[in-house]
Amino acid sequence: MVRVRFAPSPTGYLHIGSARTALFNWLYARHNKGEFIIRIEDTDKERSKPEYLEEILASLKWLFMEWDGELSYQSQRFEIYKKYADTLVKKGLAYLDGPAIIFKVEKSKKVAFEDMIRGTVEFSTDEIKDQVLMKSDGTPTYNFACVVDDHEMQITHVIRGDDHISNTPKQVMLYEALGLELPKFAHIPLILSKDGGRMSKRHGATSIFEYKNMGFLPEALVNYLSLMGWAPGNDVEILPLEETIKLFDVKNVNKTGAIFDMDKLSWINGQYIKTMEINKLTEKVESYLKDKNIIQGEYDRTKLAEIVKAYKERMRTLDDFVSVYKYFFSEEIEYDEKAVEKHLKKPNSKDIITKCKAACEADPKFDKASLEESYRKLAEELKVKAAELIHPTRVAISGKTVGAGLFDMMELLGREKVLKRLAKFC
């Protein structure tokens, strides 16, 4: 059975690169009906913090990556590592340096392994110094603990970032010295920024929960991450998780680095918003607005669903609904100064808005069809294009030049709010 692992260190939050590594492991396990194991590499006692671990696990769950079995912690396995290290000392393959145990690296040898993505990879032992196995404080080094744990946890495939590729020959030597079977290795190219460098905070958010706070959907983020270095073919860009599981194979991951593009992620997120069933999307918007303390106390949920329906075609993130919610449910709205200057400060603007307000007051139904008819009729009377009435009205009632259809907005706002906001500019 395929058995893979994701081994985060709780010394920081889960960032985008590690999340992609976890996802490729999870997809490979699910595709092969195998197991996805979480191992916590918490040997750095000073830097490891419970809040980091909590956030890492919550991020994985938010991205649908449930794991199999119990979590394991390296900090609870020091005696096991010591036993393996002592075995190498007894074999004459490692030596003591005070309380530390060090593995002897035989020089002028070649260490080769097969990588599922890169093919044969070879290193010379002349480039590798003797390897510390157990430090003087009794803690294991990364490479040694990895080998022991992957063997004991029966890991069949080690799928990780290619920043670990220089660690692999060191680990291969330890597998061979201990007489253990090698797992299969796959080293995934790093995620790069648009300028070709390593991704960092200046290129956009890096923590997974930062993306959640920015209003991205987990479905969209998983979709985007799965396509960073892998593709199902036929230029498919929107791929539900169930389909990704069916098609994914780590052997088909590209050898070159994947470029992170926030605009592309936003577009994919917008596609998920656009096609999501309205009740489900309303629930997500509602939850997001409550988390942001935008929704406080009582509110009209039916009206919120109508607003979400009217705006979802135009939205790219849940955060885009913040300003929309405010101008529908708040008494005061924020005005775009440039929009006010352009559409509400012309010599005839006051007269136009006054006439629009009168048409709204006289409208018998105040629904979108009736309002549109009233505005078309007024435009004919004034011998102007309908746009000359629509644009200033939109800015007056919403503060912005873009949004849903004007008459949809007016119906959702209701007669009282529309007249009150138009009156400000009469």
Whole-angstrom distance, CA of residue 288 vs CA of residue 98? 56
Whole-angstrom distance, CA of residue 122 vs CA of residue 110? 7
Whole-angstrom distance, CA of residue 208 vs CA of residue 334? 30
User: Strand 184-188 vs strand 119-124: parallel, antiparallel, or unpaired?
Assistant: unpaired
Q: In this structure, are residues 308 and 302 in contact, taking their beta carbons and an 8 Å threshold?
A: no
Collapsed DSSP state (helix, strand, coil) of residue 392: helix
End-to-end CA distance of the chain, in Å?
74
Alpha carbon of 74 to those of 5, 38, 39: distances in Å? 13, 11, 7
Name the β-bridge partners of 72. 39
Whole-angstrom distance, CA of residue 1 vs CA of residue 106? 34
Residues labelled as active-site residues: 201
Q: In this structure, are residues 367 and 413 in contact, taking their beta carbons and an 8 Å threshold?
A: no
Return left, alpha or beta for 60; rule: phi > 0 is left, psi -120 to 50 is alpha, else beta. Answer: alpha
At position 313, the amino acid (one-letter code) is: E
Q: What is the DSSP letter of 137?
A: T
Q: In this structure, are residues 261 and 227 in contact, taking their beta carbons and an 8 Å threshold?
A: no
User: Strand 3-6 vs strand 131-134: parallel, antiparallel, or unpaired?
Assistant: unpaired
User: Strand 94-97 vs strand 100-103: parallel, antiparallel, or unpaired?
Assistant: antiparallel
Name the β-bridge partners of 131. 103
At position 272, the amino acid (one-letter code) is: Y
Q: What is the DSSP letter of 207?
A: B
Instruction: Pick the closest to residue 375 from 390, 365, 362, 364 (CA basis).
Output: 390
Strand order across the beta sheet in which 72-73 lies: 3-6, 35-40, 72-73
Element spanning 103, H or E: strand 100-103
Q: Tell me which residue has tokens 């929960």.
A: 209
Q: In this structure, are residues 155 and 184 in contact, taking their beta carbons and an 8 Å threshold?
A: no
- 119 alpha-carbon distance from chain centroid: 30
